[in-house]
Amino acid sequence: MTEMFRDKVDVSLTVNGEPVEARVPAGQHMIDFLRLELGLTGAHASCEHGVCGACTIRVDDDAVRGCLMLAAQADGTEVWTIEGLTDTNAIRDLQEAFVVRNALQCGFCTPGMLVAAEELLSKGGTPSRAEIREHLSGNYCRCTGYEAIIDAVESVAQGRAGKGKA
Amino acid sequence: MKASAGGYARAESVRHALDLLAGSDGQGRVLAGGQSLVAAMNMRLSVGDLLVDISKISELSGIAVEGDTLRIGALTRHAQVGTDPQVQAHAPLLKDAVAHIAHAAIRNRGTIGGALAHADPAAEFPACTLALGATMHAEGPDGSRSIAVEDFFEEVFTTALNEDEILTGITLPIAEAGEMQILEEVARRSGDYALVGLCLAKRAAGHRVALFSVGPKPVLAMGAMAALDAGDLDAAVDALSAEIDPPSDTQASAAYRRHLGGVLLRRAVARLKGDAA
Ligand SMILES: Cc1cc2nc3c(=O)[nH]c(=O)nc-3n(C[C@H](O)[C@H](O)[C@H](O)COP(=O)(O)OP(=O)(O)OC[C@H]3O[C@@H](n4cnc5c(N)ncnc54)[C@H](O)[C@@H]3O)c2cc1C
Ligand code: FES
Ligand code: FES
Reported ipTM: 0.95
Pocket test for ligand 3, best of A105, A149, A153 (most atoms within 8 A of CB): A105
pLDDT (0 to 100) of residue B1 = 65
Find the mean pLDDT for residues A96-104: 98
The response to whether residue B61 sits with its C-beta less than 6 Å from ligand 1 reads no
Q: Identify the nearest ligand to the CA of A140 by its number.
A: 3
pLDDT (0 to 100) of residue B4 = 79
pLDDT (0 to 100) of residue B3 = 77
The response to whether residue B93 sits with its C-beta less than 6 Å from ligand 1 reads no
* Chain segment B145-158, per-residue pLDDT in tens: 999 999 999 999 99
Please state whether beta strands B49-53 and B28-31 pair in parallel, antiparallel, or not at all (unpaired). Answer: parallel
* Chain segment B192-217, per-residue pLDDT in tens: 999 999 999 999 999 999 999 999 99
Contact B25 A138 (CB under 8 A): no
* Superfamily name and number for A3-85: Beta-grasp domain (3.10.20.30)
Contact B104 A49 (CB under 8 A): no
CATH of B7-53, one of 3.30.430.20, 3.30.43.10, 3.40.190.10, 3.40.109.10: 3.30.43.10
User: Beta-carbon neighbour count of residue A35 at 10 Å?
Assistant: 18
| Residue A74 in this model has a pLDDT that exceeds 60 | yes
Contact B9 A63 (CB under 8 A): no
Which pLDDT band, with edges at 50, 70 and 90, does B244 fall under? very high
Q: Which of A91-100, A116-125, B41-50 has the lowest mean pLDDT?
A: B41-50
CATH topology of domain A89-160: DNA polymerase; domain 1 (1.10.150)
Architecture of the domain whose range is B180-272: 2-Layer Sandwich (3.30)
Does B5 reach chain A within 8 Å, measured CB to CB?
yes
Domain boundaries, chain A: 3-85, 89-160
* Total length of chain A: 166
Determine phi and psi for B40, rounding to 5 degrees: -65, -35
- For residue B212, the CA-to-ligand 1 centroid distance in Å is 16
Read off the pTM. 0.97
For chain B, residues classed under CATH 3.30.390.50 are 180-272
A14: left (phi over 0), alpha (psi -120 to 50) or beta: beta
Residues facing residue B210 across a β-bridge: B199, B220
The CATH class of B58-173 is alpha beta
pLDDT (0 to 100) of residue A164 = 63
For chain B, residues classed under CATH 3.30.43.10 are 7-53
| Atom of ligand 3 at shortest range from CA of A142 | 3
> Where is A144: in which H helix or E strand?
none
Contact B9 A5 (CB under 8 A): yes
- For residue A137, the CA-to-ligand 3 centroid distance in Å is 14
Does B168 reach chain A within 8 Å, measured CB to CB?
no
| Atom of ligand 2 at shortest range from CA of A44 | 1
Query: Which residue out of A1, A3, A5 would a mutagenesis test of the B interface target, given it has the greatest number of B Cβ atoms within 10 Å?
Result: A5
Residues of A with CB under 8 A from a CB of B: 1-2, 4-7, 9, 25-29, 32, 48-50, 53, 56, 62-65, 67-70, 72-73, 75, 116, 119-120, 133-135, 137-139
- The DSSP annotation for B193-245 comes to PPSEEEEEEEETTEEEEEEESSSSS-EE-HHHHHHHHTT-HHHHHHHHHHH--
